[in-house]
Structure 1
């Protein structure tokens, strides 16, 4: 481990027989429930004050929608029951010409607005980014086809940001995505499936590209099957008995190509919900495709920390990501 950057020497990961033990440990960790997210209470004032952009004019695609009756309401900062997805816009005091689409996590069972939305937006807006936080539809809440619904919203969000770039003083060639946990799975799906046709075009915005210019993945769910997946995320996205073709289609590491955007990854190796090998899986695919990539594996940090734990090296990820974006976006 490099103390200055948190990078891990890949040679230390290749331990022969010890690798099997790591995978077995990852399988055990993947069976643990998702963390209880920090926060709670009311939505921060910054969220209420932010400009809101509805994604869809009229009913979204992905119907017919049949609402479940057994949804667990988790409070305003852990959003469920999303029927009209949207973007909340956090504008900087002085724009740097770049935009960041932030996708909070929540195991595809809720959207974690406070720690992986507002907190992240505030930090990057102070750095000059125009930040768009995505509240996306949750696939297990009655949408058909469920496995496409989050990607529909992510693609549409990226296209709307570019369509409105001039309004926000954003260069449409400098739009990045940043996703956390299950939101990291959605961000990785956008990085690899930006051109997948998952909805019929609605308006002029849909003539634009949904390809991010760069991506950041924080403790992402990458695998869609055991032993590395997060079981609840996979079940809610794919259903209880998905066929092999659907699992493969929603396994973003299998779809990395030379045209996949440059990607930054950060993951803590004590993550008890989403094993760090998920990030390694995506990194390996990126390097095999010769895509520019950087990864940081931290010894401690756990899962779901959003902007980062104050007293651990994992809390350095925002600075590391910001510097990487400086080099990548220019």
Structure 2
């Protein structure tokens, strides 16, 4: 499973590899994730391109939909032999991977890694972040969501279908009274879409879990894609989500900052001002929308860090964001 090649997770249809490293995919974006002090000993030697550590393979897995996806048309893509094994592509059946809290603090986290909607990063934005949060008392569920450009019908709804279903399953299964959505980059777009689109009817209910709310109690948006405005967006994420020529209505529908209202949950935003892939204007647009709606929000803009820095860049202040997020979530 940890060989440098494409692998399938038995019974899920997942392929653990993309065709490009995330740095190449996001046009030279940012440094690899750095360890927070709490987990420095275990994370410092990890390769952000994989393989995934034993803790990933030991994490209990939940199949979101079983054998019946809410969309059709899945078309797996061929992978080159040198594809990084720590990333996911060809997601035929989306899954949740649980990292239970060391000492539960009453909050569960639905974690959505990034990858431009063409891969899902299982390493620093997945496993490393899940371990760091679990060590702080959070019951973490990492979502490996379907990728909209892999042939699915109604591609613009596919990630949100998985996110809504996932948060409902977390609510149904976790003992934590509060569930927080968190996402990086394109996963940040998905988390933001969940904060504003939790009430959208994007799939037919399956079971009792689907009677539960899909609204997060709060959200952490880490260097997120927010807007679909071509002046500030990440064009690759938009193309994967909406296709090559979306009209104005499709663009507006999947621009979360345009749908913030008083019911949007509180949000915590993190961005580096030198991000070359996803401009910081994405977080600034979301922050402005939250403030206009009177929604509690906190934002941290770091001078340096680039894109894809995960838990932080070695030696830079952006390595403090997880502690800040933890304190924000714990405040009365």
Q: Which interval holds the TM-score relative to the shorter structure?
A: 0.7 to 0.9
- Alignment pair present for 1:305 and 2:309: yes
State how far apart, in whole Å, the 2-side matches of 1:269 and 1:37 are: 14
For the 8 Å contact 1:71–1:81, the answer to whether it is kept is no
Which residue number in structure 1 is paired with residue 181 of structure 2? Answer: 177
State how far apart, in whole Å, the 1-side matches of 2:75 and 2:292 are: 42
Count of equivalent residues? 292
Match 2:108 to one of 89, 99, 103: 99
1:125-140 alignment to 2 at 5 Å? 125-140=134-149
Which residue number in structure 1 is paired with residue 92 of structure 2? Answer: 83
Deviation (angstroms), 1:78: 1.1
1:180-199 alignment to 2 at 5 Å? 180-199=184-203
Which residue number in structure 2 is paired with residue 67 of structure 1? Answer: 75
- Alignment pair present for 1:233 and 2:241: no
SS, match of residue 149 in structure 2: helix
SS, match of residue 297 in structure 1: strand
State how far apart, in whole Å, the 1-side matches of 2:212 and 2:76 are: 34
For the 8 Å contact 1:37–1:112, the answer to whether it is kept is no
State how far apart, in whole Å, the 1-side matches of 2:248 and 2:233 are: 14
1:1-330 alignment to 2 at 5 Å? 33=27, 35=29, 38=32, 39-63=48-72, 65-70=73-78, 74-165=83-174, 169-171=175-177, 174-327=178-331, 330=332
Change (3 A) 1:118 1:291: same
Which residue number in structure 2 is paired with residue 21 of structure 1? Answer: none
TM-score (normalizing by structure 2)? 0.85
Q: Deviations over 1:29-65 (max 9, x none)?
A: xx972637741232111100000011112221122x2
SS, match of residue 140 in structure 1: coil
Change (3 A) 1:113 1:311: same
Deviating 4+ runs (over 4 angstroms)? 68-73
TM-score (normalizing by structure 1)? 0.85
SS, match of residue 328 in structure 2: helix
Structure 2: stretches of 5+ with no match in the other structure? 1-24, 33-47
Structure 1: stretches of 5+ with no match in the other structure? 1-30
